[in-house]
Amino acid sequence: MRPILIVHGDKKTQRQVHRILGGTFCPIELCDTVAQAEARLRDSNPFLLVCDHQQMITEHGRTVLARHGVPCLVLMHDPEPDDLSGILGVESLSYLLANPMPLLAEEMSVTVHKLMRRDIFGLEKYLAWGLEMREHTVTDCAQRPEIVDQVAAAVQDAGFGPRVAAAASLIADELLSNALYNAPVDDAGHHFRGDEPRHGPRALDAREQVTLRYACDARFLAIEVTDRYGSLDRKTILRCLAKSTGRTAEKVSMGTRGAGIGLATVYGTCNHLVFNLEPGVRSQVIALVDVRFRPAELSNAVCSFGVFAI
């Protein structure tokens, strides 16, 4: 069995991460530095590298990661939003867990199990057993606002308050919009719905239909949107998420129908954003909104993310 390699300069964190990932029953190898990790990457051929973000963003860290091409899960402790821009510039980055310890335990475990089993799809993996699932299939573009309103109303009725309801409606709207207008591609890879107005009726054929599901446990409200094209890729995702960081001008696209900040908006609205990609078949985006802790209680202004592909 290929091991998991943990690279972290803090021994206590090493032990905590070891304990969390030990539950996978994978061999675990520990290193203090990227320099030490390089030999292990060559000799042990780990299937996952778990690395402190401070080491990841160094020139050496980027070089090592690019050279070995191993999936990398980056840990950020007490991050500030400004820290994100450096991380999102690492092209080979796939997973970022920005929660302070020990809150990231469940997400870290889920991330690793998804990679081990190559079973990546479904919001159920992030929620507790026994959840009540709501599902909508969009068969006409005109249904989008109605479905968004239904999601917001359900969240409001569930007692999560207006702020979570507002977040839910924005997430649902942006993800549906992406799936309806940006996801469809023709054989040449042209996004043939990209120039259409974002409102009004249009009946969707079987492949263009989009599925939205949402559910909640005692911790997360999860909103999942799946298209049947699979045209989203990691490079595009990282480029879009980078727009959520920094107060720079000209993030908004002016010459296109879409504004180009939809995914960044979703990323800035949730606590954990998951992309499950099956190229040419389907793309699934899951936004997790923490309903257990208030933002200040989480001590975490940065959103985690994961890009999984099969």
Partner 1 sequence: MSAAATNQSLGRLEIGVSRTPDGDVLTLKGQLDDQATLSELLDQIGTHVIIDLGGIRFINSVGVREWIVFLGALVERGTRVVLRRCSEPMVHQMNMVVEAGAGAQVESFFAPFVCSGCGSEQSVAIQVALIKDQLLARTVPPQPCPDCGDSMRFDDFPNRYLLFLE
**Where do contacts with partner 1 occur on this chain (CB under 8 A)?**
80-81, 145, 161-163, 166, 169-170, 173-174, 177, 197-199, 243-244, 247-254, 257-262, 264-265, 268-269, 294-296, 301
Q: How far is the CB of 265 from partner 1 (least distance, A)?
A: 5
Q: How far is CA 212 from the centre of its chain?
A: 16
How many of the other CB atoms lie within 10 Å of CB of 214? 26
Question: Whole-angstrom Cα distance, residue 109 to residue 30?
Answer: 17
Q: How far is the CB of 197 from partner 1 (least distance, A)?
A: 7
User: 60 or 198: whose CB is closer to partner 1?
Assistant: 198
Candidates 29, 31, 82; CA nearest to 55 is 31
Question: Whole-angstrom Cα distance, residue 111 to residue 174?
Answer: 24
Alpha helices in the chain (DSSP H): 11-22, 34-44, 53-56, 59-68, 84-88, 105-117, 144-157, 161-177, 234-242, 262-267, 295-298
User: 19 or 198: whose CB is closer to partner 1?
Assistant: 198
User: 186 or 195: whose CB is closer to partner 1?
Assistant: 195
Question: Whole-angstrom Cα distance, residue 124 to residue 247?
Answer: 35
Q: How far is the CB of 182 from partner 1 (least distance, A)?
A: 11
Q: How far is the CB of 261 from partner 1 (least distance, A)?
A: 5
Q: How far is the CB of 159 from partner 1 (least distance, A)?
A: 11
Q: How far is the CB of 310 from partner 1 (least distance, A)?
A: 29
User: 47 or 293: whose CB is closer to partner 1?
Assistant: 293
User: 6 or 167: whose CB is closer to partner 1?
Assistant: 167
DSSP 238-306: HHHHHTTSS--S--S-SSSSS-S-HHHHHHTTSSEEEEEEETTTEEEEEEEEE-SS-HHHHT--S-EEE
Q: How far is the CB of 126 from partner 1 (least distance, A)?
A: 23
How many of the other CB atoms lie within 10 Å of CB of 67? 12
User: 43 or 297: whose CB is closer to partner 1?
Assistant: 297
User: 131 or 166: whose CB is closer to partner 1?
Assistant: 166
Question: Whole-angstrom Cα distance, residue 161 to residue 169?
Answer: 13
How many of the other CB atoms lie within 10 Å of CB of 82? 12
